[in-house]
A and B are shown apart, each in its own frame.
Chain A
Amino acid sequence: MTGLLIKNFVRSKGLMTGLLLLFLSGLISLNVGKHFLEKNQQLIQQTAHFQQENIDRNVKYVNKEIGLLLYYVRFGLANHTPNLAGLSIGQRDINPAVLSVTIRNLEEQKYTTDLMNPMYQLIGNLDFSFVLIYFFPLIIIAFCFNLISEEKEEGTWSLVLSQAISPLKMLRLKLCIRYVSVLTVLLLLLVIAKFYLAIPVDNAFVAFGLTAILYISFWFSVSWLIVSFHRDSSYNALLLLIVWVMLTIVIPASVTTVIVYKYPVPEAFGTVLESRDGYHSKWDQPKEPTIQKFQKHYPQFNRYKHPEGKDYSWLWYYAMQQMGDDEAAVHATDLKTKLRKREAASSVIGLFVPTIHTQQICNHLSQSDMANHLNFIEEVEKFHEQKRLYFYPKIFTDFAIADENWKAFPLAYFQDKVSVNWSLVLIPVFSICVICVVWAGVNFRRPLERNARYE
């Protein structure tokens, strides 16, 4: 029986074409991922190169005061891109991979975006997660919608019923063959990805693979459930297609709209205005209060004084710059909190919607979600602070530029850590699968013979 079913499956031109299409689109998506990773690598190399060039040139020409030199010099921090991000590009093509900052106020620098073609962002990448979330279900639906009804519509159902093997067992076998075939394509693509994109086999990759397997299992369970109602092919196809449209387009798109509506971020504009005024308005104010505020923030610099009667000093200048950050701090923190809230809201909703959940887990594992970017921004803040604290005393004492080792500031890297929360990764979709299968089991417990009469 099994042998015959497999033979039947393999000889079906439609099914084989489906698998082939799936495999091909998977390969294209891997290529897109490779292209993305290469471009990213190239960008980081360029930045590293230009940073050294920038430092060397400025040290050569702006060689009198270190305070003025550090007005110009940029230090870059790159957000390390794991190769797994080639499979799920996520927000990585929206948020910059490298931020290069001077030690002046950070608020004016940290929201800088990269140059991107918005039409491309609108259409979105054809990455592996897209193929997984959109294409795999379509093929699964095409494989399963007429699992029973094709037998009925082709008049072979009564033959099935008259076999020694139970009809349910045969249906399970049919489903298994389809499941194994799609699973094979998925695993094949992941193995190819592992070598083609040089992805290390770690927890994140294993979790990524399991998420993908669970996701296709979810679609098989849904199809199995729909099939268990014993309706005709066109009804099943219609219903499954509606489920697909709802889960991949309507629900996630509505959730996005609701989140944008529920959490507007005026704080973003607030930070711009506050940091601008915080810094620029100090030019017209007495110097003492500014310096006092600065020294209240950094008591360790109390011993440095603004030279009496002088129109200008670097202490005063960097104190003004510091005010840009200090006065925007409330807004900036609010902004981050708001963004974390947006992130949290969508992950809660994701628990109930497998498409959203899968996309978010994929992005999380490949460090291409918003959380990663926020972590990166926080690291940029630390990095910037550390540079400030290193250079401030040198600026205030007018340290000789030539005595500093300017080769010691190459591009720095931020490596985010991914913790795999196995139960969060696996349980939500798995439970939905179980519900579908159990429900289908209840449907199948009704005698199958009765349904044969209709045909």
Chain B
Amino acid sequence: MRFSVLKILSRQVYRSTIKKRSTLWLIGIFNLMLGFAVVSGYQILTTQQQIVDKYSQQVRHRWEKSPDKHPHRMAHYGYVAFRQKFPLSFFDFGMNSYVGNAVFLEAHRQNTVNFSEASLSNGLLRFGEISAGLILQLLLPLVIFFWGFDLISAERENGTLRILLTQGISWPELIMGKCLGLFSVSLTIFVPVVVISLILLFSNGAIGDNWQSLGYFAILIVGYLVYLLIVSLLAVFVSAKSNTSKSALTKLIGFWLFFTLILPKISLVIGQNLYPSPSKVEFDTAVEHELLAQGDSHNPNDPHFKVLKDSLLQAYGVDSTHKLPFNYGGYVMREGERLSAETYKRHQAKLVAIYQKQQNVVRLTALCNPFMAIKNLSMALSGTDYATYHDFENQAEAYRYKLAQTMNELQIKLISNTTKGSSGKQAIINRKHWAEFPDFSHHFPAFILVFQQEKLAIFSLIIWISGLYFLVTLSSKHFKAF
């Protein structure tokens, strides 16, 4: 393939496309839409950040200002954890609107993460949300198809194709040249939004993770460039393969509908039927049944905790728990918290495994669907995918566990073993202990996790681009010049 030929061909495509009024209109509209999408996305993000910051501070403030009290009451007072949005989430909203935002963390109980945007919205959300991700993944390919469907078929219809080929241009050069031209036209839509996003990313000082998101953004840009290249190549390739421009356009629109609308929905139906997931009632009941079998840690005389008691009495050589050198109630509660948290964790892991399996059905279609590949990759890098959310759930649960156990430790250490009730003078401890317990802070997963999660998507994009490239170079004999 000669570089000079590619350059001439691509420049010709670029110039003739950009010359048309309709092209300029489309480019203008798309840039406006993208500008609107990222700016409004960014404003929604910063509003949400402010709301989350405000309420997180309130939670912390109220926690630290709590009066002297029994530590177990403090464990029940609990904490509220809010989900932070990744700085890049304004670029691709992904699942952000469908996952919860706030969770009440207390002893003994794992509450659901509530207040997802979807639960606060009406049915309109089902049409999607206008984000840069949606426009670039879904709408831009459609425009590229419109610009590219007749790039070769029209030359064939006009008879100019033969002239081109007799001038010594090879088929691969022709296709790659046209593809690069088409690709460069698409950059007039892609580059401005990247620039605006970068500016917005830099202006967001609320979170110190900017370097992390900047790195993610770099990879995201590469991902989108590859995606646009795949789409351009597909358009030109189909145009070369089709007998008429009309059939090329029909095929390309068919591809688009199938890949973006039909295949994801179908894979969802399949996943749901293959791996049914439990309802909340089933899940809670299963956890409850297991917990009941373990006994009640609030009741120091519970038969299931009797074994524990006997072994303690033996070890310390005393005949009553009141004579133990530490608060026995707290000790039992710590044990109970450990058991219940482990049980919950086990069930939760099972549930997440089912979700992962369901999602893998959708993810697997990325191999034959570049749209799904870029969608998953983009969500993951924008911090709006399931893995990022699940990571938050884990962090919140870990914090909850630590909170409950720290309070139990305080009870074991500081509350006398003979104290009854939880409100007497002896049953309360100094509030300085509250401030000693660190605030909840939400961290975002490291790149290696994102990479592991989405390696299939990355692999799929590589397969598509190299597959199409080889198809173009190898099958040039089968193309028709007229």
Whether the pair A360, B122 counts as a contact (CB closer than 8 A) is yes
Whether the pair A126, B272 counts as a contact (CB closer than 8 A) is no
A221 part of interface (Cβ distance < 8 Å): no
Please report the C-alpha to C-alpha distance between residue A43 and residue B80 in the assembled complex, in whole angstroms. Answer: 29
Whether the pair A259, B55 counts as a contact (CB closer than 8 A) is no
Of B123-131, B197-205, B401-409, which binds chain A? B123-131
Whether the pair B421, A311 counts as a contact (CB closer than 8 A) is yes
Residues of chain B within 8 A (CB-CB) of A322 are: none
What does DSSP make chain B's interface, helix, strand, loop or mixed?
helix
Please report the C-alpha to C-alpha distance between residue A120 and residue B276 in the assembled complex, in whole angstroms. Answer: 12
Whether the pair A98, B124 counts as a contact (CB closer than 8 A) is no
Question: Which of B76, B100, B120, B386 is close to A265, meaning CB atoms less than 8 Å apart?
Answer: B120
Number of residue pairs spanning A and B whose beta carbons lie under 8 angstroms apart: 234
Interface residues on B, range: 35 or more
What distance in Å separates the Cβ of A144 from its nearest Cβ neighbour in chain B?
A: 15
Q: Which residue of B lies closest to A111 (CB)?
A: B114
Of B262-270, B446-454, B470-478, which binds chain A? B262-270
Question: Which of A47, A126, A272, A371 is close to B80, meaning CB atoms less than 8 Å apart?
Answer: A272
Whether the pair A124, B55 counts as a contact (CB closer than 8 A) is no
Of A201-209, A273-281, A430-438, which binds chain B? A273-281
Of A173-181, A339-347, A390-398, which binds chain B? A339-347
Q: Which residue of B lies closest to A233 (CB)?
A: B246
What does DSSP make chain A's interface, helix, strand, loop or mixed?
helix
* Proximity bits, A12-44, B CB within 8 Å = 1, else 0: 000000000000000010001001000100010
A158 part of interface (Cβ distance < 8 Å): no
Within 8 A of B (CB), among A89-138: 90-91, 94-96, 98, 100, 108, 111-126, 130, 134, 138
Residues of chain A within 8 A (CB-CB) of B101 are: 268-269
Please report the C-alpha to C-alpha distance between residue A289 and residue B97 in the assembled complex, in whole angstroms. Answer: 42
Residues of chain B within 8 A (CB-CB) of A50 are: 281, 285
Please report the C-alpha to C-alpha distance between residue A45 and residue B97 in the assembled complex, in whole angstroms. Answer: 30
Whether A118 touches B127, Cβ cut-off 8 Å, given contacts A123-B362, A265-B120, A276-B78, is: no
A118, A266, A343 — which one has the most chain B CB atoms within 10 A of its CB?
Answer: A118
What distance in Å separates the Cβ of B451 from its nearest Cβ neighbour in chain A?
A: 19
Q: How many residues of A contact B (CB 8 A)?
A: 84
Whether the pair A112, B112 counts as a contact (CB closer than 8 A) is yes
Of B43-51, B306-314, B327-335, which binds chain A? B43-51
Whether A117 touches B358, Cβ cut-off 8 Å, given contacts A268-B120, A342-B120, is: yes
Within 8 A of B (CB), among A327-377: 339, 342-343, 346, 355-356, 359-360, 363, 368-371
A63 part of interface (Cβ distance < 8 Å): no
Q: Which residue of B lies closest to A271 (CB)?
A: B115
Whether the pair B123, A118 counts as a contact (CB closer than 8 A) is no
Within 8 A of B (CB), among A270-319: 270, 272-273, 276-277, 280-281, 283-284, 311-312
Whether A342 touches B44, Cβ cut-off 8 Å, given contacts A115-B277, A115-B283, A273-B58, is: no
A241 part of interface (Cβ distance < 8 Å): yes
What distance in Å separates the Cβ of B299 from its nearest Cβ neighbour in chain A?
A: 11
Whether the pair A120, B44 counts as a contact (CB closer than 8 A) is no
Q: Residues of A with Cβ closer than 8 Å to B?
A: 28, 32, 35, 39, 43, 46-47, 50, 57, 90-91, 94-96, 98, 100, 108, 111-126, 130, 134, 138, 233-234, 237-238, 241, 245, 248-250, 252-261, 264-266, 268-270, 272-273, 276-277, 280-281, 283-284, 311-312, 339, 342-343, 346, 355-356, 359-360, 363, 368-371
Query: Could you list 13 examples of A-B contacts with CB < 8 Å?
Result: A91-B118, A117-B277, A120-B358, A123-B362, A126-B266, A234-B245, A237-B249, A245-B142, A260-B129, A269-B115, A272-B104, A276-B78, A359-B127
Q: Residues of B with Cβ closer than 8 Å to A?
A: 33, 36-37, 40-41, 43-44, 47-48, 51-52, 54-55, 58-59, 62, 66-67, 69, 73, 76-78, 80, 82, 94-95, 97-102, 104, 111-131, 134, 138-139, 142, 146, 245-246, 249, 253, 257, 261, 264-266, 268-269, 271-273, 277-283, 285, 292, 351, 355, 358-359, 362, 386, 389, 421, 423-424
The 7 closest A-B pairs by CB, nearest first: A252-B127, A370-B122, A253-B130, A126-B265, A118-B98, A121-B98, A280-B77
Knowing that A91-B122, A108-B104, A283-B69 touch, tell me 11 more A-B residue pairs with CB under 8 angstroms: A91-B121, A112-B112, A113-B113, A125-B268, A126-B269, A249-B127, A253-B130, A256-B127, A269-B101, A280-B73, A343-B122
